[in-house]
A and B are shown apart, each in its own frame.
Chain A
Amino acid sequence: GAGVSQSPSNKVTEKGKDVELRCDPISGHTALYWYRQRLGQGLEFLIYFQGNSAPDKSGLPSDRFSAERTGESVSTLTIQRTQQEDSAVYLCASSSNRGAVGAFFGQGTRLTVV
C-alpha cells in the first residue's frame, strides 16, 4: 500500500481481556517497529523485526506483550490480560534497509483499557 496501515484505529477493552493490534507495513519494507506512546510522552520502543532475523524484543514491558510477523508482511501485537496502564497509542513503523532512509509511521491504534 501507499503507507503504513494500522487497525483498529481505536480499541476500548475491559481490563483482563486480550487485544490484538495489526500493522500493514509499506510493501517491500524489511524492517518493522512497534512503539508505545502514552499521552504527552515520547516513543517507547517495544519490538523490532528485520527480515527473517530473530526480532529484537528488548523493549517489551512484560510477558503479557508479544508480537509476530510473517516474512516481510503483516505484524500483530498481542497484549494479554490487559491492564489500565496499557492504555496508550500503539504506533507501528516500517523502513527499507536499502540506503539511509527513515522509518514511516502508521496512524496508530489508540487503546483504552477500562
Chain B
Amino acid sequence: GENVEQHPSTLSVQEGDSAVIKCTYSDSASNYFPWYKQELGKRPQLIIDIRSNVGEKKDQRIAVTLNKTAKHFSLHITETQPEDSAVYFCAARPNTGNQFYFGTGTSLTVIP
C-alpha cells in the first residue's frame, strides 16, 4: 500500500519568512495530493491540492510543487503570518481507489 512520509514534524519561522513542508510517497499510482491545515481544536481543512499532471499550483501565499519522478511534493507558504500557525497534513490518493494516505503532520509556529 501507499506510504506517505512528512518532514519536518515541527517548524518555527519568523513572521514574514517562508515555510516549506516536504512529503514523499511510495506508490507511483498516486495521482492526487491534497494538503490540510488543522488549527488547534478544529477540524482539518483542505487548503490546496495538486494533481499528477501538474508540477506546481499557487493560491495567493501558498503553493504546492510535485515531482513525480522523485515521488515527492512540497507545500510552500510565503510571507508567513501568525494565523498560519497550525498543523499541516499532506496526503496522497492512488488512482486505484478513493483511499487517502496521510502524512504524520507538521506543527508550524509563526513567531510574531
Contact = CB atoms under 8 A, between A and B. Distances in A.
Q: Does chain A bind chain B?
A: yes
Interface of A: 30-31, 33, 41-43, 45, 48, 50, 56, 91, 93, 95, 97, 100-108
A45 B45 CA distance: 17
Interface stretch (B20-28, B60-68, B70-78, B95-103): B95-103
Interface string B86-110: 0001010100011110111100000
B81 interface: no
Contacts of A31: 98
A50 B97 contact: yes
Task: Determine chain B's interface SS by DSSP, over half rule.
Answer: strand
B46 A102 contact: yes
13 contacts: A31-B98, A41-B105, A42-B103, A42-B105, A43-B44, A43-B89, A43-B105, A48-B98, A50-B97, A95-B98, A100-B31, A100-B32, A108-B43
B7 interface: no
Nearest to A110: B41
A100 B32 CA distance: 6
Given A42-B89, A100-B32, A100-B51, A50 B46 contact: no
Given A50-B97, A100-B31, A102-B34, 17 more contacts: A33-B100, A42-B102, A42-B103, A43-B102, A45-B102, A97-B98, A100-B32, A100-B51, A102-B36, A102-B49, A102-B91, A102-B100, A103-B100, A105-B36, A105-B45, A107-B42, A107-B43
Nearest to A107: B43
A105 B99 contact: no
Nearest to A106: B43
B43 to A, nearest CB: 4
B50 to A, nearest CB: 9
A56 B99 contact: yes
A41 B107 CA distance: 10
A91 B44 contact: yes
A95 B31 CA distance: 16
Nearest to B32: A100
